Amino acid sequence: MSRTFFVVRRRPHRTVALALAASVAMASPAVASTTGDNTEQLRRLARELVAAGAPGVIARIDDGHGHPVEIVEQAPWTRQDHLLTATDEYRMGSNTKTMVATLVLQLVAEGKLTLSDPVEKWLPGKVPNGKAITLRMLLNHTGGLFDYTEDPALRPSIVGRERQRWTSAKLLAVGVKHDPLFAPGTKWSYSNTNYAAIGAVLERATGTSLANLVRDRIARPLGLNHTYYATDSTWRGPYAHGYERDAAHMPPEVPVWFRNFAGTRRHGHVDVSGNDPGWGGAAGAMVSNAQDWARFSTALMSGKLLPAAQLAQMRATLPIDARQPDGPGYGLGIQTAATPCGTFWGHDGGIPGYLTTNITDRAGGRTASVLVSTEFWAEFETDPKLAKATQAFQSAVTCAMFGKPLV
C-alpha cells in the first residue's frame, strides 16, 4: 500500500529496495563501531521512531555472528491493549509473495508446474489473453494485469467495514474485469492481481488450499509455529496490535473512503488488529513473527527449501526502474538492491496497522526484520516526520545486519 515500502498496494510506489538503497546511501555508514554501540544506537532510533508517531516497533537483527539483537519499543498509550514483545505475531502483508513464490518453485522442481506455463493452462477462460501470460510473468510482475486493490469493491474490506470471504478466484475476477496495463512481458509494474492468479493456480494444481500448502510445505517442516496463511481475522498466538488514525485525526491527503476504520478507538487511533486480512489473499494474507521469518529466509536462501536451479530462477531479477538497469531489481517474489553496507534480498509489506520489512543476505546467514505498527502514513505519504524516522531506523538495521552500523 505504501510508496515508501511495498504493501498490498493500490497506487504506484517505491519498493523497499529503492527506499532502503536511498536511505542507506545517504546515511554514510562507518565500520568502526562495536556491537554494543550498534545495539544502543538501534534502541535510540527505535525510541525516536515511537516519538515521531509510531505506536510500536519490533526489530530483530542477526549479523550471523553471536546472538541476534531484538528491539521492542511502544507508545505508552498502547500498553493497555498489549505489552509488545519481540516474539509477537504480526501481519506480513506482501512479504507473503516470497513464500507463495517459493511454493510455486517447489512445484516446478517436482515437475508439476513450469514457469513457462500460460495461465490459460491452469485457469482456462479466467484471465483475458491468458495464453500470452506465463507463470513467470505473474511472479515477476510483468503480466500487465490491473491491480485489484485499486477497485472500489475492496474498500470496505480494507477498512474492516465488510467481512466477506475473498478467495483467490474472487480477487482475480476483480482485477481482470479492468483493462490490462500493457502487453504481457513488455514492462514491469507491481500488481497484486498477479499473485491472486498465482494463488488460484496453486490451488488448482494441487487440489488443496493455500493455507494447507503453507502449513505442510513450509511452516511445519521448518518448525514455524507462528506462521500461517490467514483465512479470517483470528490470531493463533500473542500478537502486536496495529493502529491507524481515527477519522477525526486522519490527514486530509487520505481519500474519504479510507478515513473510517472499524475497530476500537484509542488515543486518536483505531485498533485495526481485529480486522480480516483475507482481502490480501496470496498477495498479502500471511501472519508470522520476526523469529519465524528469519528461519524461513535462512532456509530459502541457503537452499533448504528449493533446489539450486529454482533458487537461481527466483534470483533472476528485472530492474524495478527501467531508467536504472543496474539498480534495485525484482525476481520471483523477491527484491534486491545494493547499498554501501551490502546487497540485500527480501521483501516488504503493508496492510492496515502493519508496515513490515524482511531482508537477508544472498546466503541467508544474516537476517533482519522490522515492524512499524501503523501503515497508512506511508501509503499516502502524509507524515514526513515519521517517514524520516522510519528510514533512519531501517538504514541502521540494514547496516547492522551486515556488521556495518551507522555512526
Instruction: Considering only CA atoms, give the Rg of the chain.
Output: 20
Residue 111 region by backbone torsions, left for phi larger than 0, else alpha for psi between -120 and 50, else beta:
left
Give the DSSP letter string of 271-297: E-TTS--GGGHHHH-EEE-HHHHHHHH
Catalytic residue at 373?
no
In angstroms, the Cα distances linking 62 to 92, 94, 129, 212, 346 are: 19, 22, 45, 29, 14
CB atoms within 10 A of CB 264: 13
Phi, psi of 84 (to 5 degrees): -65, 140
What is the 8-class DSSP label of residue 123?
A: S
Q: Of the residues 2, 23, 33, 94, which is catalytic?
A: 94
CB atoms within 10 A of CB 334: 25
Q: What is the 3-state secondary structure (H, E, C) of 43-100?
A: HHHHHHHHHCCCCEEEEEEECCCCCCEEEEEECHHHCCCCCCCCCCEEEEECCHHHHH
* 32 burial via Cβ count (<10 Å: 0-12, 13-18, 19+): exposed
Q: Which residues are catalytic?
A: 94
